Structure 1
Amino acid sequence: MIFQDGERFRDVGGRWRVPVVFDNLIASGEMPPTIAVFIDPGHDKALELKNNRASNRSFEYDSPGDRYVRFLLEEILPEVRKKYVISDDPNLLAIGGSSSGAICAFTAAWERPDVFRRVYSSVGSFTNLRGGSVYPSLVRKTEPRPIRVYMADTSGDIDNQFGSWPWANQQMAAALQYMGYDVKFDWAEGYAHNSDFGGARFPDAMRWLWRKEQHQPVLDTRGDLGGDLTLLKLLVPGAGWELAAEGLGFADALCADSEGNLFYCDMRAPAVYRISAADGTQSLICAESVSGMEITPEGFLIACQGSKKRIIGIDSKTGETRAVVENVVPNDLALGRDGWVYFTDTGASAVKRFRLGEFVVSTVDEGISKPNGIAVTADGGTLAVSDYGGGYTWMFRIRSDGTLDAKMPVMPMRLPINQQGEFRMGAAPPYLEASKGDGMAVDAAGRFYVTSSVGVQVFDPTGRPCGVLPVVHRDQPLTTCILAGSDFNTLYIAHGTRLYRRKLTVK
Structure 2
Amino acid sequence: MRKTIVALRLTRLLGILSLVLVTAAVTLHAEESYPLHPDSQTQSGVPEGRVESFHFANSSVFPGTERDYFVYVPAQYDAAKPAALMVFQDGGGYINRKGNWRVPVVFDNLIHKGEMPVTIAVMVNPGVVPGGDGAQSRFNRSYEYDSVSDRYATFLIDELLPVVKQKYNITDDPNLRGIGGSSSGAIAAFGVAWHRPDQFRRVFSTVGTYVGLRGGNEYPTLVRKTEPKPLRVFLQDGRNDLDIYAGSWWNANQTMLSALQWAGYQVKNEWGDGGHNGKHGGAIMPDAMRWLWQDADKPIEVTIDEHPELKDRLIPGETWELVSEGHRYTEGPAVAPDGSVFFIDGPAAEIWKVNADGKGASKLVDGVSGVSGLMFDAKGNLYAARNKERKISRITPEGTQTVIATDVGCNDLVVLEDGIYFTDPLKPAVWYLPHGGEPTVVASGDAGSFPGKPNGIAVTPDKRFLVVVDATGRYVWSYRIEQSGKLSFGQPYYYVHQPQDELNTGADGVTMAKDGSLLVATSLGVQVFDQPGRVHVIIDRPSSQGRLSNCVFGGPDGMTLYVTCGTRVFRRNTRIEGFAPWQESVVPAKPHL
**Mean CA deviation greater in 277-286 or 3-12:** 277-286
SS of the aligned residue for 1:83 comes to: coil
Letter in 2 for 1:198: G
SS of the aligned residue for 1:407 comes to: strand
1:20 counterpart residue number: 105
Q: Is 1:2 matched up with 2:105?
A: no
Q: Distance in 1 between matches of 2:314 and 2:330?
A: 24
Residue pair 1:387, 1:435 contacting (<8 A) in 2 also: no
Q: Classify 1:324/1:218 alpha carbon distance in 2 versus 1 (closer, same or farther; 3 Å).
A: closer
Letter in 1 for 2:90: D
Q: Classify 1:83/1:436 alpha carbon distance in 2 versus 1 (closer, same or farther; 3 Å).
A: same
Residue pair 1:437, 1:452 contacting (<8 A) in 2 also: yes
2:344 counterpart residue number: 265
Q: Classify 1:399/1:459 alpha carbon distance in 2 versus 1 (closer, same or farther; 3 Å).
A: same
* Deviation, structure 1 residue 273: 2.2
2:485 counterpart residue number: 402
| 1:65-80 equivalent positions in 2, closer than 5 A | 65-80=149-164
Q: Distance in 2 between matches of 1:35 and 1:276?
A: 48
Q: Distance in 2 between matches of 1:481 and 1:185?
A: 39
CA shift digits 1:200-233 (9 cap, x unpaired): 22112112212225556576979x7xxxxx4554
Q: Classify 1:79/1:217 alpha carbon distance in 2 versus 1 (closer, same or farther; 3 Å).
A: closer
SS of the aligned residue for 2:523 comes to: coil
Q: Is 1:439 matched up with 2:509?
A: yes
Q: Classify 1:280/1:359 alpha carbon distance in 2 versus 1 (closer, same or farther; 3 Å).
A: farther
Q: Which of residues 42, 57, 77 in structure 1 aligns to 2:127? A: 42
Residue pair 1:411, 1:463 contacting (<8 A) in 2 also: yes
Q: Classify 1:470/1:390 alpha carbon distance in 2 versus 1 (closer, same or farther; 3 Å).
A: same
Letter in 1 for 2:401: T
| 1:269-288 equivalent positions in 2, closer than 5 A | 269-277=348-356, 280=359, 282-287=361-366, 288=368
* Deviation, structure 1 residue 362: 0.7
SS of the aligned residue for 1:79 comes to: helix
Q: Is 1:152 matched up with 2:152?
A: no
SS of the aligned residue for 1:109 comes to: helix
Q: Which of residues 263, 283, 288 in structure 2 aligns to 1:205? A: 288
Q: Which of residues 334, 337, 362 in structure 1 aligns to 2:440? A: 362
Q: Classify 1:54/1:154 alpha carbon distance in 2 versus 1 (closer, same or farther; 3 Å).
A: farther
* Deviation, structure 1 residue 261: 1.2
Q: Distance in 2 between matches of 1:350 and 1:215?
A: 49
SS of the aligned residue for 2:117 comes to: coil
Letter in 1 for 2:538: V
| 1:385-396 equivalent positions in 2, closer than 5 A | 385-396=468-479
Q: Which of residues 428, 448, 453 in structure 1 aligns to 2:518? A: 448
Residue pair 2:260, 2:267 contacting (<8 A) in 1 also: yes
TM-score by length of 2: 0.76
Letter in 1 for 2:443: D
SS of the aligned residue for 2:205 comes to: strand
Q: Distance in 1 between matches of 2:311 and 2:533?
A: 17
SS of the aligned residue for 2:120 comes to: coil
Residue pair 1:333, 1:341 contacting (<8 A) in 2 also: yes
Residue pair 2:232, 2:292 contacting (<8 A) in 1 also: yes
Residue pair 1:6, 1:39 contacting (<8 A) in 2 also: yes
SS of the aligned residue for 2:208 comes to: coil
Residue pair 2:237, 2:274 contacting (<8 A) in 1 also: no
SS of the aligned residue for 2:94 comes to: helix
Q: Distance in 2 between matches of 1:214 and 1:279?
A: 30
Q: Which of residues 352, 359, 382 in structure 2 aligns to 1:301? A: 382
Letter in 1 for 2:365: C
SS of the aligned residue for 1:167 comes to: helix
Letter in 1 for 2:481: I
1:411 counterpart residue number: 494
Letter in 1 for 2:140: N
* Deviation, structure 1 residue 279: 6.4
Q: Distance in 2 between matches of 1:279 and 1:404?
A: 37
Residue pair 2:499, 2:505 contacting (<8 A) in 1 also: yes
Q: Classify 1:71/1:92 alpha carbon distance in 2 versus 1 (closer, same or farther; 3 Å).
A: same
* Deviation, structure 1 residue 59: 2.7
1:469 counterpart residue number: 539
CA shift digits 1:96-129 (9 cap, x unpaired): 0011110111111112222222111011111122
Letter in 1 for 2:178: A
Residue pair 1:375, 1:385 contacting (<8 A) in 2 also: yes
Q: Classify 1:57/1:215 alpha carbon distance in 2 versus 1 (closer, same or farther; 3 Å).
A: closer
Q: Which of residues 566, 577, 593 in structure 2 aligns to 1:496? A: 566
Letter in 2 for 1:291: S
Larger radius of gyration: 2
Q: Is 1:161 matched up with 2:245?
A: yes
Q: Distance in 2 between matches of 1:237 and 1:268?
A: 36
Letter in 1 for 2:385: C
1:426 counterpart residue number: none
Q: Distance in 1 between matches of 2:127 and 2:271?
A: 31
Residue pair 2:228, 2:304 contacting (<8 A) in 1 also: no
TM-score by length of 1: 0.89
Letter in 2 for 1:308: E
2:323 counterpart residue number: 244
Residue pair 1:342, 1:354 contacting (<8 A) in 2 also: yes
Task: Let me know the Cα RMSD of the aligned residues.
Answer: 2.5
**Mean CA deviation greater in 470-479 or 366-375:** 470-479
Q: Paired residues, what number?
A: 481
SS of the aligned residue for 1:35 comes to: strand
Q: Distance in 2 between matches of 1:453 and 1:217?
A: 23
Q: Distance in 2 between matches of 1:85 and 1:310?
A: 58
1:382 counterpart residue number: 465
